[in-house]
A = this chain, B = another copy of it.
Amino acid sequence: MVAMIGSGNVAYHLSRALNGKTEVRMVNPRTLEGLPGKPDIILIAVTDTAIREVAEKLKGTEALVAHTSGSIGLEALNGISSHIGVFYPLQTFTKGIDPDYSEIPILIEGSDPETSEKLKSLAHLFTARIEDADSEKRRKLHLAAVFACNFTNALAGISRDILAESGIDFSLLLPLMKQTVKKLEILTPKEAQTGPAVRGDRQVIESHLAMLESKPEAKEIYAKISHLISSKSSKP
């Protein structure tokens, strides 16, 4: 039996992913209401800053205890149980929008091989994409995810602002964004790169910069990323 401590998006979606595949009990992170007597695994799916506080309350448990954070080390759980681990889902979670659970990568770290294996078996209940990852690997993945997810979303925000001024519907861009990601299943980003910067089309770039005159931050970002693209494409 899995005890899922948390009330946020990660707890919600991990419990949905496991729903019908193993017994999951939702546990209130403040009161620990709902915590069963003898859980096999306790997942602490709370914000980074609350992990230690929740863990302290579990001290001495016989269960395997793991947290679900990409940026917190395994050592945050030191002394809580003799079997501690990390069960990090590399996904952006929002309530009401279900991802395809079967393709979420789960990054696993365990204090011992048996713990790792148990966490992997848990992940296997809903996904086939499971990898070992120590703190360093999780840190790198988290940084890469900021570019690929958080910053991609911010660029979409710039696009939306540009279109909204002229009353143009942002959703026109969604098929293009979907395809941009789909291409990366087959091509490297360098191979997949299109647009004025990689073509060295100065005329289009200058006209775009002029259109961004009233948006100094977007204009700077346009110039920086265009420069990055053209400097990369000129290298072998």
Contact = CB atoms under 8 A, between A and B. Distances in A.
Given A172-B105, A173-B144, A149 B217 contact: no
Interface string A37-67: 0000000000000000000000000000000
Chain A: interface secondary structure? helix
Given A221-B224, A225-B221, A228-B217, A183 B94 contact: yes
A177 to B, nearest CB: 5
A197 B150 CA distance: 9
Contact of A140 (B148, B162, B184): B162
Contacts of A182: 97, 99
Interface residues of A, number: 87
A159 interface: yes
Interface in A62-108: 71, 90-92, 94, 96-97, 99-100, 103-105
B188 A154 contact: no
Interface stretch (A22-30, A118-126, A163-171): A163-171
Interface of A: 71, 90-92, 94, 96-97, 99-100, 103-105, 129, 131, 136-137, 139-141, 143-160, 162-163, 165-166, 168, 170-190, 192-198, 204, 207-208, 211-212, 217-218, 220-222, 224-225, 227-229, 231-232
